[in-house]
């Protein structure tokens, strides 16, 4: 036995004759043993909407993403539905003149979100609509709740958010997804929806929304970045905390949440995995604007393959346990999956 044969034999002894590379040798075998796969059914498309007609504005911090007026976003929603994307989630950029301390415009039954809901329900009824009842796009201070003497008033905010959820449900929203992180808002929304006869309207709770640095481009998209006074760390979760996210999930489930969400996504894969394992609830990840912008910037500079990084990042959410992903890449990914 020569030296090479002895070395090979010892490797076989150590591995018990297992050769894990056998399953990786060809494309067909890699496909056959792949543990997690991404499909169009996993995608939720967040869109930015603006007032007016025939308006499309590029968002500098999010290359390839634009704000659309409702008439134009209808065309994009039709394309998304044809690609098989299950749901769309609107985020409004309303004029500054409509923003105030309490976000009162969110209660207007003809506000931008409600216009979007009614238009989609009429023209593209096959796609689901997921709406956020948080106040930040409607406040003049950029916070998700009502600001009083420099403090976010939890109970007053919950009352306002609950009323907003009813306005959105009345317009035709399928899922209310409150992102504000106020204590008790899930139970209040569930009680209000049921009391008004909206038993079939679901709640997707932003259960673990972290005080993250990855939201910057989003705040440009809805024009709140320059408005923000104070700190959202008084109501978002500290990035160093994991157990706290589980306590939030436990509370939200007890209050009536139908689905849970973790935001941001990639820096919190461990939270996705843990939440799915502990609660076995439909669990979603939000690949936020900063995650999108990083991939796009690195791709534009030639530092990585943008499409491969995009697909790998989304597959990571599936591997971590997510049942679905809110991602600005949804139409592009759906098109790629269709042509694959």
> What's the token pair of residue 197?
């006869």
> Number of folded domains in the chain?
1
Q: Answer yes or no: 209 catalytic.
A: yes
Structural domain includes residue 227:
yes
Structural domain includes residue 332:
yes
The predicted-structure confidence for 72-126, as pLDDT tens digits, reads as follows 999 999 999 999 999 999 999 999 999 999 999 999 999 999 999 999 999 999 9
Catalytic entry in 82, 121, 122, 209: 209
Residue 260: give the domain boundaries.
Answer: 38-339
Average pLDDT over residues 308-329: 98
- Residue 56, φ and ψ in degrees, nearest 5: -140, 120
What is the predicted pLDDT for the residue at 230? 76
Identify the three-state secondary structure at position 338: helix
The predicted-structure confidence for 152-211, as pLDDT tens digits, reads as follows 999 999 999 999 999 999 999 999 999 999 999 999 999 999 999 999 999 999 999 999
Structural domain includes residue 18:
no
Structural domain includes residue 62:
yes
What is the predicted pLDDT for the residue at 185? 98
- Residue 154, φ and ψ in degrees, nearest 5: -60, -55
Average pLDDT over residues 41-65: 97
Residues whose CB falls within 8 Å of the CB of residue 210, separated by 6 or more in sequence, listed in order: 236, 237, 238, 239, 263, 264, 267, 268
SS3 of the chain: helix, strand, coil, percent, to 5: 50, 15, 35
Q: Looking at 75-79, 227-231, 235-239, which range is the least confident one?
A: 227-231
Looking up residue 163, the CATH number of its domain turns out to be: 3.20.20.70
What is the predicted pLDDT for the residue at 1? 46
Structural domain includes residue 83:
yes
Structural domain includes residue 29:
no
Residue 10 has pLDDT above 80, yes or no: no
Question: Residue 117 and residue 29: Cα distance in Å, rounded?
Answer: 45
Catalytic entry in 79, 82, 229, 263: 263
Structural domain includes residue 94:
yes
What is the predicted pLDDT for the residue at 94? 97
User: What's the pLDDT band for 226 if we cut at 50, 70, 90?
Assistant: confident
Structural domain includes residue 22:
no
């Amino acid at each position: 036995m020569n030296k090479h044969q002895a070395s090979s034999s010892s490797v076989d002894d150590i591995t018990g004759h297992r050769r894990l590379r056998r399953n990786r040798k060809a494309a067909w075998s890699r496909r056959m043993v792949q543990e997690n796969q991404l499909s169009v059914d996993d995608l939720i498309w967040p869109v930015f909407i603006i007032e007016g007609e025939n308006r499309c504005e590029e968002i500098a911090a999010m290359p390839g993403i634009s704000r659309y007026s409702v008439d134009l976003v209808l065309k994009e929603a039709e394309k998304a539905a044809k690609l098989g994307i299950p749901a769309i989630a609107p985020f409004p950029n309303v004029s500054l003149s409509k923003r105030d301390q309490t976000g009162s415009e969110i209660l207007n039954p003809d506000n931008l979100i409600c216009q979007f809901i009614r238009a989609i329900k009429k023209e593209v009824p096959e796609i689901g609509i997921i709406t956020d009842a948080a106040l930040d796009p409607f406040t003049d201070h950029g916070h998700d709740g009502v600001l009083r003497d420099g403090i976010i008033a939890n109970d007053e905010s919950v009352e306002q958010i609950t009323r907003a959820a009813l306005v959105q449900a009345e317009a035709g929203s399928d899922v209310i997804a409150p992102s504000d992180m106020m204590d008790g808002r899930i139970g209040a929304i569930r009680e209000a929806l049921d009391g008004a006869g909206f038993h079939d309207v679901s709640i997707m709770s932003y259960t673990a929304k972290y005080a993250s640095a990855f939201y910057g481009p989003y705040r440009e998209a809805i024009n709140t970045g320059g408005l923000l006074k104070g700190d959202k760390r008084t109501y978002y979760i500290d990035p160093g905390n994991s157990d706290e996210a589980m306590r939030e999930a436990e509370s939200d489930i007890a209050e009536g949440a139908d689905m849970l969400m973790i935001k941001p996504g990639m820096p919190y894969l461990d939270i996705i995995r843990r939440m799915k394992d502990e609660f076995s609830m439909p669990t979603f990840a939000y690949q936020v604007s900063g995650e999108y912008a990083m991939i796009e910037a690195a791709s534009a500079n030639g530092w990585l393959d943008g499409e491969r990084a995009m697909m790998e990042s989304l597959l990571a959410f599936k591997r971590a346990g997510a049942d679905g992903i809110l991602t600005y890449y949804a139409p592009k990914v759906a098109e790629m999956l269709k042509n694959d």
